[in-house]
Amino acid sequence: MTLRSLLTFLLAPLAAAAAEPAQGLHAIFEAGGRTDHRVDRMLALQVPAGQPATPWLPAGPFKAHWEGTVEAPVRGIFTLWAESSGKFRLTVNGQAVLEGAGTKSVQLNKGPNAIVAEFESDGKADAHLRAGWASRDFPREAFPPTSLAHASDEVLTQALRLREGRALFANLNCAACHQDAKLPAKGTGMPEYGQNAPLLADLGAKFDRVWLTRWILDPASFRPHSLMPAALNGPDAEQQAADLAAMLTQGATPASGPVADPALAPAGASLFANLGCVGCHRQPDAQGDDALGRIPLAHVRAKWRDAALMDYLLDPAKNWPAARMPHFRLTEEEASQLTAYLLTKAPATKLTAKEGDAARGAGLIVAAGCLNCHAGMPATTQPPLAKTVTAGAKGCLAPDAAARGKAPAYDLSAGERDALLAFLQSDVAAGLAADVAAEFATRNLKALNCAACHAVDGRGSVWKKVDEECRQLRSLLPPKEHVEGEPVPDAPVPALTWQGEKLKTGWMTEFIAGRVEDKPRWWLIGVMPGFSQHAAGMALGLGQQHGFGPKDPEDPKPDPARIAVGEKLLGMDGGFNCITCHDVGDKEATAVFEAPGINLALSAERLRKGHFHRWLLNPNRLDPETKMPKFADGDGLTQLTEHFNGKAEDQFEAIREYLNSLKKK
Amino acid sequence: MKTLTTTLLLALTVVASAQQNLPKHEAMDYGRFLSASIDNAQGKNPFEQKGGAANKAVVVNLGDRAGGFAFDTETLRGAGGWTGGWLRFKGVTFDGGHGPNPGPAQNAKMHFETNPGPGWSADGSFKDPRPLPNGPEGVMSKIPLGPLPREHSKYLGLFLNGDRVIFHYSVGGAELLESAVLETVAGVPVVSRSFTVTKGELDAYVCLQDLPYGGTIALNDTGAVVTMKFPAPQPPPAPKGKKKAAPTEAPKAPADEVTAVAGRGLPSGSAFVQKDSSLSLKVKASAGTSFKVSFAHGAVGQDADLRKAAAGSSGAADLTAFTKGGPARWTQTVVTETAFGEADQTKQVEFLRQQLAGESDATAKQALEDRIKEALNAPYLVDNLNVPLENPYHSWIRIGGIDFYKDGRIAFSTWSGDVWVGTPSDAKFSKVIWKRHATGLFHALGLCIVDDVLFVLGRDQITRLHDLNGDGEADRYENFNNDVQVTSNFHEFTFDLQTDAQGNFYFLKGGPVNPGGRGWGPLSDHHGAIFKVSPDGRKFEVHATGIRAPNGMGVGPNGEISNGDNQGTWVPADYIHFSKAGDFIEVPDLAHRAQAPTKYSPHLCWIPYDVDNSNGGQTWVTSKQWGPLEGRMLYLSYGKSSLFGVLQERVGDVSQGGVVKFPLKFTTGIMRGRFHPGDGQLYVAGLKGWQSNGVKDGAIHRVRYTGKSVTMQDRLHVTKDGITIGFTGALDRKSATDLQNWSIEQYNYKYSSEYGSADYKVSKPGEQGTDPVAVKSVRLSDDGKEVFLEIPGLQPVMQMRIKMSLKAVDGTRVPEEVSNTINIVPDAKGSDYRSFAK
């Protein structure tokens, strides 16, 4: 037995006893004498000058330090690289590898290799760092999130708890009731902070009064983890809820329009599967618990008036700009089909409620504090923030009804209450005053449930997991022979892992916002819905996570000779046959067969340069299932030796220049 | 004979293509005929049973693309004759389109056309004796397929002479020749069908004209006047998925047209017969008789002129004069110089040295130095025979089959229907003189040479080519066997052509994949099968069924029949399969059995999508001059333009194994391989025609053994204790026995009607992903050529990937992955499988 294997043998039980390492690196930031911890998906950052590196730190000079491991598939030589705007140092397995930007080849062991990275910014210019590796098997890339891991410790756990508490404080709109002069003004600081709850308009036209009463009494019974608390309690709660509902629905005429037509339900069921609704929501007739934690819809029939549901589906953010439900740009026909499906499949639950008094409700709506959140009125409730900070686990944060007293009941887990308490014990005002886009993106990947439809960092999407459910939903329509050129249900939805590196910020913003008219991947059965409220922050933040700012460097002046070569390389005759599968502007692909590609005329506005090259050099490395061929070998040479001596990178750059020239036409 | 060098030719071609500026499929000189499934003039395929559409047509080029005559070789039917251009070159081989087939030129004037069905009839009923394909309702073709029964009528082949194409076939007990000709008589275009009876007594009706879209037939004393109606043209199809087509005005039906039909030299007792909307000729003739039927075409009101023109065409000639071979047509040869692999090697080393010069990092330097050493010590180099991609005939050189004559000459066939023969200047193939030998074949994706006779697989038939006058060009295209059924589906390719030691022929046919890649068109009895044809061509059998898009097979020295297949419906990933007669392989829809199977038959191995996404053929190493791999099987990847060694073991009658990639590069999607009878080296060929990382339209590469030491995986055994991998050379002990240099993962695929499959964990079936496989220990045999990986608890798994980072004793890198399948985990090692010719 060698010494190493002996050590491995002896240490193995110890390693097994420790907690399973989590993905990403433990990041430690220091600025202005303060320290902050978080987990970073990537060994990368982009901090604009004048902005802090994390929400808890002052802007200006800062230091960042990452630690964790990078996992190699087998022992071998890897070329590590970094680009950095400041001081940088990378240590692998205890040995200094990089001092500053550059490359260095080292042997990595199979499995985890300890890495420590240190970065320092003088705060004068944008701080920028990207680091990664390359090997003979794959081209230069940032360390993939799936290869990075870290062990947790109490300091990091506390920092993450603080972040969770901060997000809850903002999303639950705690400051609407618990006010404090020191808090930032609404519309400043953390974007989620200070958002009003839905506008209480036309509720009678939209909702059933009885349902509304039950909702006011106990929102979480319909919608687990509802942001809205059960604000009424005590013996009069039922009557008060009825009064509020009476007031809110008073004098309303139900929205007029088509009534849910059961004949449209099968088409609606298909849409429910094909648009990915099924990734976030359970089917309306689903029973029992859902292992995937999707939002139930069993109440839709009790809640909605037919035409109003259709209106809502057509514009979910109409009365609530901060709505998490995205805009699917449905046609009226689609919306009526979905409505029919939802309303005919949901059970006809018989709810009961007392009759209410609208006049009493009118008084209550102010007194109970409803308008604090729903209209952004000055708080009519108590106590102010300063008092809650010292109160501890009382009121809203009490673990049980007895301790809660008259305070509203939120559907919070013990961990969430702890997180909120932790945040309250920090400098709340300072914590809300600033935000960084990279963290906004992290929070909202979760809040907007991007993973419902997209794989990210090696974890599959919910949508993919419920394949069988989708198949059943689609089977309600009579089978239809697939016609070439029509979307297919099982084409893979792009993973989010590298989008921050791949897409230019401007285009990504438009795409997330749902403002890109033509679907780039026209063969996907779903559509990317619009998250207009979050788009800019998400796009900026995802870019920052990968070390990119909002502006890509200007390309050098186009060279007509290279453009001509690029055009040739795109073609069939002496080229890579890109045009077989890809449209180029108005020119249709010549022979798409199960592998349609994105219109290449979009490349210039969509793709960052580095990712364009990385994709072409080794498409399967980025997407093991892609049908895009790989033309370059491990040495970076292609079989087309007529141009640039066969150097792949030069050839691909010529293609890029040609594609850039299309944009300007 | 004129000979052009490639440089001069290139200059000529540039001028020519600048003049023409045509896409390759338009610019190509296809010769005197083109074989294809054709649609009718309205673009309707044969399933519609209307007009001149045919599943197996030979379309004669009349008057240098002034007109066409389509002959259906299955039904011996004159499917159509027209003027106003030859063909519209639509379809996957031409413009790459999915769906439409070639058909009469865009604005062709149809002198006549006949509906699908027998072209001859003993009793005038033209009743089709063929049964419908056998299988479930709704999925099978609703029209009869394949050739008519031999005793009814049989296509025997065709002869070429000058511009003439002479069809040769039997009708009942008689044999006859037929040839179409285009004449202009008093300004009127006349298309004629000429016949000569060569054997027996002809006593039958020949179908002359149908009216698929209505019209009238009026018999007269010299023949008939036929007035034809035509349908309004179809509006263009909606553009794909994205936007809806703008509504257009309903197109109007074109004006009626008229054909006058007249006989020339008709034997006594002949008579034109009208039955419903069909015109036929009853004819009784003995051997030696020649006669002719002419069709003059024009507008309504021109009847008198047309009748005069039809009756005034030239007299019937004796066609036997055209069956002895005519003057050579493809007289310009192309000489190419072979690019030897040493040049690429030098280039690669220079490139690496440049990198080395700019590198300061010691580890990176060492890695580059290792790469250079490896490049210089390569045991195999790839030469490029430089096929005549540029040629005076603009023939589109996409290679579908290769083989060798005994004297070392090489022949290849192309997807666009050519056969070329290359004569090497010396034993090294330093230069090759290429001559065009045959043209017009129907997707010639397989070729073999038996006793110096060329056999070419087309989608319609196996053609035996004869050079009757020794001028290096085929003058007789004999129908060796055309029993295989064909539909007009764009994707039902036939592939490869191999023989076994007994002289039987084998080839493959895919399923009729729908445009876009999903599901199937109407099925025939032969979709998705391996076929066996007896050495004399008389007997055609289905060997095995259930394959999807199998671009290549192998026949081993001892009759081992293998095939590859292409990921898609019911095919989760590419695989290699060994079959026996009567086997079902993979795709239940194409099983052709009463009960659709619910399980695939175990394959030798599955192949990961990123290793091979589109298969080629398999070639057995039958040479002692090609390094240490004699008796092994090789696997070619079309999609990745790569060559693989195949590792095989047999455990009882179960085969299992895997593939390992040669570190070699090819410029095209390689799919056919042969060992040269002289130099004993491997020649591989292929094309770029659908998705591949190949960059050249077609290429032939020689994989030449340099004599340097070869250390690569050639054996694989699985037992309950672990995996044994054998190597052809000794490994560096330090690297081989370091557990850190080994990594194994495994996963299963989902066998379903979906297109391909994701990877699914073995540990959590149903969850996507892969599982690592822990290697407990690694041992290297004393001779350094065998590694045992201790892995307790192995279970059958569809896909295993064994990755390694090893060096041979000479310091060179060993191929880094074996992708394999475990069908069975025996207690003791199975037998290593090699095959040698007896």
pLDDT per residue as tens digits for the range B667-681 = 999 999 999 999 999
Asked if the structure places residue A11 within a domain, the reply is: no
Classified as helix, coil or strand, A622 is: helix
Say whether both A415 and A464 belong to one domain: no
The CATH number of residue A650's host domain is 1.10.760.10
> Count of domains in chain A?
5
Residue B298 structure tokens: 């024009």
C-alpha span between B712 and B730 (Å, rounded) = 9
Say whether both A529 and A608 belong to one domain: no
Residue B18 contacts A where some CB pair is shorter than 8 Å:
no
C-alpha span between B120 and B129 (Å, rounded) = 12
C-alpha span between A335 and A317 (Å, rounded) = 15
Asked if the structure places residue A447 within a domain, the reply is: yes
pLDDT at A5: 47
Of the candidates A106, A109, A575, which has its C-beta nearest B740's C-beta?
A: A109
The CATH number of residue A307's host domain is 1.10.760
pLDDT at B240: 55
Asked if the structure places residue A13 within a domain, the reply is: no
Are B574 and B552 spatial neighbours (Cβ–Cβ below 8 Å)? no
Of the candidates A79, A137, A482, which has its C-beta nearest B364's C-beta?
A: A79
Q: Which residue has the higher pLDDT, A450 or B4?
A: A450
Distance from CA of B230 to the nearest CA of A (A): 28
C-alpha span between A151 and A14 (Å, rounded) = 14
Tell me how many degrees the CA angle B113-B114-B120 measures, rounded to the nearest 5: 130
pLDDT at A479: 84
> Does residue A145 have a cis bond before it (omega within 30 degrees)?
no
In the chain, the amino acid numbered B413 is: S
Say whether both A337 and A212 belong to one domain: yes
pLDDT per residue as tens digits for the range B509-538 = 999 998 777 789 999 999 999 999 999 999
Asked whether the predicted pLDDT for residue B508 surpasses 90, the reply is yes
**CB proximity list for B832: less than 8 A, separation 6 or greater:** B648, B649, B715, B717, B726
Distance from CA of B353 to the nearest CA of A (A): 12
C-alpha span between B325 and B319 (Å, rounded) = 12
Along chain A (665 residues), what's the average pLDDT of each consecutive run of 10 residues?
Answer: 44 46 96 97 97 96 98 95 97 97 96 98 96 94 98 95 97 92 92 93 92 96 93 93 95 78 96 97 93 95 93 94 93 96 93 94 91 86 83 89 90 95 94 96 96 95 94 92 81 95 98 91 93 96 98 92 96 91 90 85 95 96 91 92 93 97 72
Of the candidates B610, B694, B816, which has its C-beta nearest A620's C-beta?
A: B610
| Partner residues linked to B20 by β-bridges | none
pLDDT per residue as tens digits for the range A314-349 = 999 999 999 999 999 999 999 999 999 999 999 988
pLDDT at B8: 43
pLDDT per residue as tens digits for the range B604-657 = 999 999 999 999 999 999 999 999 999 999 999 999 999 999 999 999 999 999
**CB proximity list for B114: less than 8 A, separation 6 or greater:** B51, B52, B77, B78, B79, B80, B207, B208, B209, B210, B278
Say whether both A64 and A84 belong to one domain: yes
pTM of this prediction?
0.92
- Which residues from chain B sit within 8 angstroms of residue A74, using beta carbons? 740-743, 803-805
C-alpha span between B59 and A316 (Å, rounded) = 61
Asked whether the predicted pLDDT for residue B235 surpasses 80, the reply is no
C-alpha span between B828 and B757 (Å, rounded) = 32
Are A575 and A471 spatial neighbours (Cβ–Cβ below 8 Å)? no
Asked whether the predicted pLDDT for residue B821 surpasses 70, the reply is yes
Q: What is the ipTM of this complex?
A: 0.88
Are B115 and B70 spatial neighbours (Cβ–Cβ below 8 Å)? no
The alpha helices in B641-761, defined as continuous H runs, are: 733-736
Say whether both A471 and A494 belong to one domain: yes
pLDDT at B248: 65
C-alpha span between A52 and A30 (Å, rounded) = 10
Distance from CA of B526 to the nearest CA of A (A): 22
- Which residues from chain A sit within 8 angstroms of residue B613, using beta carbons? 627
Rounded to 10 deg, the angle between the B341-357 and B362-376 helix axes is 170
Of the candidates B361, B694, B754, which has its C-beta nearest A490's C-beta?
A: B754
Asked if the structure places residue A326 within a domain, the reply is: yes
pLDDT per residue as tens digits for the range A95-154 = 999 999 999 999 999 999 999 999 999 999 999 999 999 998 899 999 999 999 999 999
In the structure, what pLDDT confidence band is assigned to residue B247 with cuts at 50, 70 and 90? low
C-alpha span between B526 and B546 (Å, rounded) = 10
Residue B755 contacts A where some CB pair is shorter than 8 Å:
yes
CA dihedral B680, B681, B687, B690 (to 10 degrees): 100
Say whether both A449 and A565 belong to one domain: no
The CATH number of residue A77's host domain is 2.60.120.1560
Residues 421-460 of A with CB under 8 A from B: 460
Asked if the structure places residue A555 within a domain, the reply is: no
Asked if the structure places residue A596 within a domain, the reply is: yes
Are B609 and B615 spatial neighbours (Cβ–Cβ below 8 Å)? no
* Whether A591 and B740 lie within 8 Å, measured CB to CB: no
Among A324, A345, A366, give the residue marking a domain's end. Answer: A345
Are A36 and A159 spatial neighbours (Cβ–Cβ below 8 Å)? yes
Say whether both A320 and A224 belong to one domain: yes
**CB proximity list for B758: less than 8 A, separation 6 or greater:** A625, B749, B750, B768
| Partner residues linked to B120 by β-bridges | B206
Say whether both A97 and A231 belong to one domain: no
Q: Are strands B419-424 and B223-228 parallel, antiparallel or unpaired?
A: unpaired
The number of CA neighbours under 13 Å toward the Cβ of A624 is 12
Share of residues in chain B with pLDDT > 70 (%): 96
Residue A146 contacts B where some CB pair is shorter than 8 Å:
no
In the structure, what pLDDT confidence band is assigned to residue B238 with cuts at 50, 70 and 90? low
Say whether both A184 and A260 belong to one domain: no
Say whether both A539 and A420 belong to one domain: no
Say whether both A523 and A609 belong to one domain: no
* Whether B695 and A576 lie within 8 Å, measured CB to CB: yes
Distance from CA of B607 to the nearest CA of A (A): 13
pLDDT per residue as tens digits for the range B744-768 = 999 999 999 888 999 999 999 988 8
Asked if the structure places residue A455 within a domain, the reply is: yes
Residue A592 contacts B where some CB pair is shorter than 8 Å:
yes
Of the candidates A483, A590, A594, which has its C-beta nearest B755's C-beta?
A: A594
Residue B26 structure tokens: 């338009």
C-alpha span between B215 and A533 (Å, rounded) = 67
**CB proximity list for B233: less than 8 A, separation 6 or greater:** B42, B251, B254
Q: Are strands B410-414 and B722-727 parallel, antiparallel or unpaired?
A: unpaired
- Which residues from chain B sit within 8 angstroms of residue A110, using beta carbons? 739-743
* Whether A593 and B690 lie within 8 Å, measured CB to CB: yes
The boundaries of the domain holding residue A225 are: 203-345
Say whether both A178 and A240 belong to one domain: no
Q: For chain A, what percentages of helix, strand and coil (3-state, to nearest 5) are there?
A: 40, 15, 45
Asked if the structure places residue A363 within a domain, the reply is: no
Among A418, A433, A448, give the residue marking a domain's end. Answer: A433
